[in-house]
Amino acid sequence: MPAELICFEERCRARFPITDAIYNCPHCGGLLEVWYPPPAATPAELKRIWRERRTSNAPLDQSGVWRYREMVPFLESYDRVVTLREGHTPLLPAPPAATYGGLDALTFKHQGFNPTGSFKDNGMTCGVAQALRLGMARVACVSTGNTSASMAAYASAAGLAGIVFIPHGNISYGKLAQALEYGAKTLQVEANFDQILALVRTLAERLGIYLLNSINPFRIEGQKTIIVEMLDQRDWNPPDWIVLPGGNLGNTAAFGKALRELHGLGFIARMPRLAVIQAEGAAPFYDLMLAPARGFHAVSHPETLATAIKIGDPVSWPKALREVACSGGVVEKVSEQEIADAKAVIGRCGIGCEPASAATLAGIRKLTASGTISASADVVAVLTGNLLKDPDYIYRYHTGKLEAPDGAAIHSRFANQPVVLPNDADRIAAFLQG
C-alpha cells in the first residue's frame, strides 16, 4: 500500500494519490496530510538502523531528514533527492537561559545550524524532492524570509527555477540577501504575508508553479524529523515540554504529527506537551486558545519586530489546534520587550538566535511564573533561526535604539555597547583597566 494524501478534516477524510499536486482537499477545502502504512521494521530495529547511519558517508544518511526516511516514506526512489546535509542540529544545554526562564535545566534544539540557517531546510528537502518527482520546473513561496532563503537554495541545487514573494520592507536583510545569492527570482510585493499568500496560491494554480509554503504537506513531513532527531539524540527519552514559536503554525503541525506517529508506533511511551509561543502583535492562535467558542479570527494588521512570525492568518491553525490539544499543550504570547531580553540572554549563553526563536525563552519565563511549567520540568526549546539572520535588530538592541512597532522604546537590559576609542595604546589600556 503506497503513501497517500488524506484530508485532515474528520468529517471528510477523502484520500488522494500521493502524486496529486494539490494543497487543499478538492472535496471540502480542508488541509491535506500525508498518510503512510506502518513501517515493516519494528521501532527497536529502526532505532538501531538510524544510529548506524550516523557513521555512514552516504549523502542520504548524512542528512538529518533522510536518515529517518522510514518516517517520511512518500517517495518510490531516492535517486533524485537533493540534500544540503540539512538537520543533525545540536541539542545545547543553556544554564543561564534556564535560570532566566525559571527552570532548573533547559536544552535548545538549534535549527539555526541548518545549511541556510533555519528549520525550513528540514522541510524544503522534502518539498523539493516532491517537486522533482512531479516533474515541476518552477517552485514558489511567499515568505517572511526563511522559507524564501531555504527554497532559493534547494531550488538552485535541484536545477529548478525558484520564485520568492516577500513582503516589501518587512524581512531582514540577511534573509533577503540569501534569496538573491542563491539565485531565486525575488519579488518584493507591497502587501503583508497573509495577503501575498492568497495571491501566490492563485498564481501557482494559474501558472502551474509548485507551491512550497508550509501548506504543502511534504514540507510538514520533513519538519517532523526535527522531533525524530531530537528524540534520537535523547536516546528516546521524551522531554516533558517542547517549546516553539508559532507563526504560520506549520512547525506546530509537524511536531504534533511526529509525536503522534512516534507514540502510535511505540517509539516513545508518552507524549511531550507542546507550548507554542506567539508575539503579542501577531497572536491569533493564542486568542483562539483563550476563547475557543469564539472561533478563529485572523489579525488583519500583525505587528512584531520578530518579522519571521509576523503573520495574522496562519494557514495551519486547524492542524495546530488538534496537535496542541492532543499533546495537552498550551499557547502563550509575549511582548516585544520580553522577546528582546530573552534573545540577549540566549546570546549570552554563547548560542544566539534570531528574534522569533527567542520567543521560546520569553514564553518559558511566563509559563514557569504562572506555574504552567514547573521548575523541575524537562524542557526542550526549539531555536528556529540563526543569530546572523537579523543583525540589524541586534545592533539596535545593544546600542539602545530598538523600538517596538508602535514606537515604544525597548529597554536594552542586557545591552553590550560597542566602544569607540582612539588609536592610542595608553588610552585603550586605561579603558581596559578602568
CB of 193 to ligand F0G, least distance (A): 7
85 torsion bin: left (phi>0), alpha (psi -120 to 50), beta (else): left
- Give the nearest distance from C-beta 212 to ligand F0G in angstroms: 10
Binding segment for ligand F0G (CB under 6 A), chosen from 9-17, 25-33, 73-81, 351-359, is: 351-359
Is 368 near ligand F0G (CB under 6 A)? no
- Grid coordinates belonging to 259: 509525536
Q: CB of 170: closest distance to ligand F0G in angstroms?
A: 11
The answer to whether residue 61 forms part of the interface with ligand F0G (CB under 6 A) is no
Instruction: Give the chain as a 3 state SS string.
Output: CCCEEEECCCCCCCEEECCCCCCECCCCCCEEEEECCCCCCCHHHHHHHHHHHCCCCCHHHHCCCHHHHHHCCCCCCCCCCCCCCCCCCCEEECHHHHHHCCCCCCEEEEHHHCCCCECHHHHHHHHHHHHHHCCCCEEEEECCCHHHHHHHHHHHHHCCEEEEEEECCCCCHHHHHHHHHCCCEEEEECCCHHHHHHHHHHHHHHHCCEECCCCCHHHHHHHHHHHHHHHHHCCCCCCCEEEEECCCCHHHHHHHHHHHHHHHHCCCCCCCEEEEEEEHHHCHHHHHHHCHHHCCCCCCCCCCCCHHHCCCCCCCHHHHHHHHHHCCCEEEEECHHHHHHHHHHHHHCCCCCCHHHHHHHHHHHHHHHCCCCCCCCCEEEEECECHHHCHHHHHHHHCCCCECCCCCECCCCCCCCCCCCCCCHHHHHHHHHC
Q: For ligand F0G, give the closer residue by CB, 46 or 340.
A: 340
Nearest CB to ligand F0G, comparing residues 222 and 239: 222
Q: Is 118 in the site for ligand F0G (CB under 6 A)?
A: yes
Minimum CB separation from ligand F0G for residue 250, in Å?
Answer: 4
Tell me which of 196, 384, 393, 410 binds ligand F0G, using CB under 6 A.
Answer: 384
Specify the residue, 107 or 357, whose C-beta has the smaller distance to ligand F0G. Answer: 357
Give least dist CB 25 to ligand F0G, A: 21
**Of positions 63, 83, 178, 251, contacts ligand F0G by CB under 6 A:** 251
Q: Is 144 in the site for ligand F0G (CB under 6 A)?
A: yes
Binding track, positions 209-228, relative to ligand F0G; x by CB under 6 A: -----x--------------
CB of 146 to ligand F0G, least distance (A): 3
Shortest CB 319 distance to ligand F0G, Å: 11
Q: How far is the CB of 358 from ligand F0G (least distance, A)?
A: 10
* Total of chain residues touching ligand F0G, rule CB under 6 A: 23
Residues 261-320 that bind ligand F0G (CB under 6 A): 308-309
Q: Does 360 engage in binding with ligand F0G (CB under 6 A)? A: no
If the CB atoms of residues 50 and 314 are measured against ligand F0G, the closer one turns out to be 314
Stretch that binds ligand F0G, among 35-43, 59-67, 101-109, 143-151 (CB under 6 A): 143-151
Report the interface residues with ligand F0G, using CB under 6 A.
118, 120, 143-147, 214, 245-252, 308-309, 354, 356-357, 384-385
